[in-house]
């Protein structure tokens, strides 16, 4: 197992958390989409539906990347994070007070948040090029060392979630 795999798993766990939050609390992202005049998001109902669909896609992408692994899924995660970075850039330019990434707990679209998303896109892009195993496959290979790395992955994920929500 490599540091790349650990970093990729962090991006996937953050993706899972953000996706689940959007499914349960789509209003913040829906508001961002309306303010940025995202296509088909002009009405509150349609923007909430789009936010939920995006959340479901994030949730599924993160889950499949962790459970199945592989280059194609990693490439899809890279594209998703590049899209998030573009959305954050637009939200920053529009001086919005929320990014919508984590529902009502979302903080303002900061430079750090933008860099975390761009960095996550790069990590996922590298995972697409070099390949990253599923978590279960890596754990079976060398359980003790990978268990330690998995704890580091979880701790890093919690730190990133802390930075990307209202505390950041």
- Confidence at residue 156, expressed as pLDDT on a 0 to 100 scale: 72
Q: Which of 14, 11, 158, 28 is nearest to 105 (CA)?
A: 28
Three-class DSSP labels, 44-100: HHHHHHHHHHHHHHHHHHHHHHHHCCCHHHHHHHHHHHHHHHHHHHHHHHCCCCCCC
Closest CA to 122 of 84, 88, 164, 89: 84
pLDDT of residue 108: 87
pTM: 0.86
Residue 19: predicted pLDDT: 94
pLDDT score for 165: 65
Query: What pLDDT does 136 receive?
Result: 82
pLDDT, one tens digit per residue, over 128-151 is 999 998 888 877 776 656 666 667
User: Is residue 85 within 8 Å of residue 117, measured between CB atoms?
Assistant: yes
CA angle 14, 28, 121 (to 5 degrees): 35
Please provide residue 165's backbone torsions phi and psi, each rounded to the nearest 5 degrees: -100, -165
pLDDT of residue 148: 67
Residues of the chain below pLDDT 50: 168
pLDDT tens for each residue of 146-166: 666 667 777 777 777 776 665
């Amino acid at each position: 197992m490599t540091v790349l795999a650990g970093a990729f798993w962090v991006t996937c766990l953050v993706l899972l958390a953000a996706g689940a939050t959007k499914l349960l609390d789509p209003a913040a992202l829906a508001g961002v989409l309306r303010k940025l005049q995202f296509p088909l998001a002009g009405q509150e109902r349609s923007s909430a539906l789009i936010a939920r669909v995006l959340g479901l896609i994030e949730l599924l992408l993160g889950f499949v990347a962790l459970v199945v692994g592989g280059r194609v899924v990693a490439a899809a995660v890279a594209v998703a994070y590049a899209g998030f970075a573009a959305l954050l850039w637009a939200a920053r330019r529009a001086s919005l007070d929320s990014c919508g990434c984590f529902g009502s707990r979302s903080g303002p679209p900061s430079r750090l948040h933008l860099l975390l998303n761009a960095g996550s896109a790069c990590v996922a892009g590298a995972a697409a090029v070099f390949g990253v195993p599923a978590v279960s496959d890596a754990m079976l290979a060398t359980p003790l060392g990978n268990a330690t790395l998995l704890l580091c992955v979880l701790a890093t994920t919690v730190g990133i979630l802390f930075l990307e929500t209202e505390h950041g």
